[in-house]
Amino acid sequence: MPNYQRILAAIDLSDEAGGVLERAAAMAKHHDAELHLLHVVEPLSLAYGGDIPMDFSEVQLQLQKQAEDALGNFAKKLNLPKTQCHLLSGRPDGQIHELAKTLATDLIIVGSHGRKGLALLLGSTANGVLHGADCDVLAVRVGQQS
């Protein structure tokens, strides 16, 4: 097993993020690796195809602030400095790849819902990260198991 030096845990700030963070913290401790947290806020214009007839800039700012607060709370639980917490905006898989390269990450940890059928065909962030990463990717199963 490789000895990881720098681990990037990409989380979605849902209730399930705790499980991903537990696994990331355990991996970082086991490998004596530096752990970084990342959350990507997807712009509403991306989520809704860019044709929004209303100004959602205030809503976007609120989403950004909520994400910043939540990410800070997760960092406190893990005793991580602010320099190891990253809040970006854009398409999650692309931003995860970009930060992983910038940080010279050798392991990315993401949550995966293990979708099947149509949801699998439509893709997911975990799938996008896996297929574009230059380093190892650990997909931690989250949500209900069936």
State yes or no: pLDDT of 58 exceeds 90.
no
State yes or no: pLDDT of 146 exceeds 50.
no
Q: What is the 3-state secondary structure (H, E, C) of 25-50?
A: HHHHHHHCCEEEEEEEECCHHHHCCC
Residue, of 60 and 36, whose pLDDT is higher: 36
pLDDT at residue 122, rounded to an integer: 37
Residue, of 83 and 49, whose pLDDT is higher: 83
- State the chain's mean pLDDT as an integer: 83
pTM reported for the whole predicted model: 0.83
Q: Is the dihedral of CA 82, 85, 104, 1 positive or negative?
A: positive
DSSP 8-state code for residue 84 = G
Reported in sequence order, the residue ranges of the chain that DSSP labels E, i.e. its strands, are 6-10, 34-41, 85-89, 107-112, 136-141
State yes or no: pLDDT of 52 exceeds 60.
no
| pLDDT band of 27, cuts 50, 70, 90 | very high
Domain with residues 6-141, CATH architecture = 3-Layer(aba) Sandwich (3.40)
User: What are the pLDDT digits (tens) for 75-93?
Assistant: 999 999 999 999 999 888 8
User: What are the pLDDT digits (tens) for 97-115?
Assistant: 999 999 999 999 998 765 4
